[in-house]
């Protein structure tokens, strides 16, 4: 039976529980599932490291090869980065030793991890849960990992190669793009607060949830996939694989596009 080593020197279990929201947080779930979610051939080691950043104009997180990035807006004027560090090796002691070689680096407003090259029997990756003020500019980039933002307003540039992107209760000038993964957004209010929302994936579905009576200039479409808009819209000219329409009285541009995948736009109450 494999041994599970959990390092709590950086953030103890009791401290995590005290800081967690009523629902289980990502960091708690990460620690609980350390021995389940990764390479079954390796002995795992997991830890949480916390880094506080000075509040500036922007927070930029680089997930590197296999990390995900999750931003959450809160009512504090500070930025708290919780780095979820996973290492795996042939023995528990080797996995723990490998974790000491993984460094979380901050350079201005940018956060990323460095460590030795992954090998067949020696692997690591770092994902992030980042608590930020509700008005903050954000950048995120991942290769094999998801990106999400909850409850933040600002200029955002979010990019994944192989991973989904999920937005909820966001506003500002927002661009979110992935090559292989789904994109979804749940909007609030009566119109988009900002100049634009631009969602795009190459291989994946797009889901957009809009409040009833939402006002916007909507652009949506797909090349290879179905399109489902579950409320009436007015379209001038030929109806093709792309649609541009005014919702309500119009407003900022809301764009949701895919190349190979379906589009679903829903009205929420």
Grade residue 18 by pLDDT with cuts at 50, 70 and 90: very low
pLDDT at 132: 97
Grade residue 236 by pLDDT with cuts at 50, 70 and 90: low
Residue 56 in this model has a pLDDT that exceeds 70: yes
Grade residue 36 by pLDDT with cuts at 50, 70 and 90: confident
Average pLDDT rounded to a whole number, residues 147-161? 98
pLDDT at 38: 67
- Starting from the edge strand earliest in sequence, which strands make up the sheet with 196-203, in order? 103-107, 110-114, 58-62, 137-142, 153-162, 171-180, 196-203, 253-260, 216-224, 242-247
pLDDT at 41: 85
**What is the reported pTM?**
0.87
- Starting from the edge strand earliest in sequence, which strands make up the sheet with 147-150, in order? 5-7, 43-53, 79-89, 122-133, 69-74, 147-150, 165-168, 183-186, 206-211, 263-268, 227-229
pLDDT digits (tens, 9 = 90+) for 180-189: 999 999 999 9
Question: Closest Cα to residue 85, out of 56, 107, 63?
Answer: 63
pLDDT at 121: 86
pLDDT at 100: 96
The residue extents of the domains of the chain are 1-143, 164-269
Average pLDDT rounded to a whole number, residues 122-145? 96
Q: Could you tell me which residue, 241 or 101, shows the higher pLDDT? A: 101
Average pLDDT rounded to a whole number, residues 203-226? 94
């Amino acid at each position: 039976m494999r041994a599970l080593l959990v390092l709590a020197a950086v953030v103890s279990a009791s401290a995590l529980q005290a800081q967690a929201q009523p629902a289980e947080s990502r960091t708690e779930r990460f620690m609980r599932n350390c021995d389940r979610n990764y390479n079954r051939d390796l002995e795992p080691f997991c830890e949480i490291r916390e880094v506080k950043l000075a509040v500036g104009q922007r927070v930029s997180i680089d997930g590197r090869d296999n990390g995900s990035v999750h931003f959450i807006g809160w009512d504090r004027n500070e930025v708290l980065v919780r780095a979820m560090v996973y290492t795996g090796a042939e023995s528990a002691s080797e996995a723990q030793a490998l974790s000491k070689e993984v460094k979380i680096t901050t350079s201005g407003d940018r956060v990323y991890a460095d460590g030795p090259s992954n090998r067949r029997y020696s692997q690591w990756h770092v994902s992030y849960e980042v608590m930020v003020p509700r008005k903050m500019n954000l950048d995120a980039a991942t290769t094999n990992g998801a990106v999400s933002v909850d409850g933040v307003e600002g200029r955002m540039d979010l990019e994944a190669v192989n991973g989904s992107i999920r937005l909820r209760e966001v506003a500002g000038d927002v661009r979110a793009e992935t090559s292989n993964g789904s994109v979804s957004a749940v909007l609030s209010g009566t119109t988009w607060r900002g100049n634009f929302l631009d969602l795009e994936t190459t291989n994946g579905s797009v889901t957009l949830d809009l409040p009833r009576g939402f006002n916007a200039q909507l652009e949506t479409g797909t090349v290879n996939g179905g399109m489902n808009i579950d409320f009436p819209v007015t379209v001038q000219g030929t109806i093709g694989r792309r649609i541009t329409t005014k919702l309500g009285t119009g407003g900022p541009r809301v764009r949701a596009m895919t190349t190979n995948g379906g589009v679903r736009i829903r009205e929420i109450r």
